[in-house]
Amino acid sequence: MRCIGLRDDGFYHYASHQVFPSDKLKKMYIFENIERISYFYGPNVDIILCSETLNFSIASNRPGCKNLFLYGPLFKDLGSPNSCRPANINFMNNYPSADNGGLYRLDNIENGETISEPPIPILEGYYFTGWYSEAECINKWSFEVTPTIQENEDLTLFAGWQLL
C-alpha cells in the first residue's frame, strides 16, 4: 500500500522512507498513486488532492493540515465535506484520451497571489505549447498575472499541444 502520514515516533512516513517534518513545507500535491492518507500533522501545509478519482475516506478522517483541497466534482460527489474545500485552479491535459478525466493538476491560491506554473506535461508525439485560458488554446496564460477568482468559483487552464 502506498500511503502518507505520521508515524507514532514523530517522523513523516512515505512508503518505507522516513522524512523529518519541515516548517518550510507549504503545499503537498497528492496524486492517484497514493492509496491512503494516514493522519498527517502539518499545521501550515495545504494538501491538494490532484485527482478526480481518489477513493479514500477523507471526509471522516481529515489529515491534520491547514487545508485539504479537492477537485471540484469530487468535492460535490462526496457531499461537500466540511473538512475539505474545492481547489480554485484546475490544470487540464486537454486531449480526448487523457487519464483522470483530463485533470493534470490542481492548485489553490488566495486573492493577490499568482499561480505557480506546474511541471510541464508530456504527451508522446506532441510538443507542449503552454497553458491557455480556454480549451481551444487561443489566449496563452501568463503566470505573471494575478487573477481574480470569486469565492466558490475556479479558474481552469488548458494545455496546448502541437503535433511533432
Q: What percent of the chain clears pLDDT 70, i.e. is strictly above it?
A: 71
Quick: pLDDT tens for 139-155: 999 999 999 998 889 99
Contacts of 34 (CB under 8 A, 6+ apart): 2, 3, 4, 54
Which of 4-13, 36-45, 70-79, 111-120 is predicted with the least confidence, judged by mean pLDDT? 4-13
More confident residue, 127 or 21: 127
Q: How many CA atoms lie within 13 A of 155 on its CB side?
A: 21
Q: What's the Rg (C-alpha) of the chain?
A: 17
How far is the C-alpha of 115 from the C-alpha of 102, rounded, in Å? Answer: 19
Whose CA is closest to 147, among 105, 107, 111, 116?
111
pLDDT at 22: 60
CATH number of 25-32+40-163: 2.60.40.4270
Backbone angles phi, psi at 113, to 5 degrees: -95, 155
Mean pLDDT of 30-55: 69
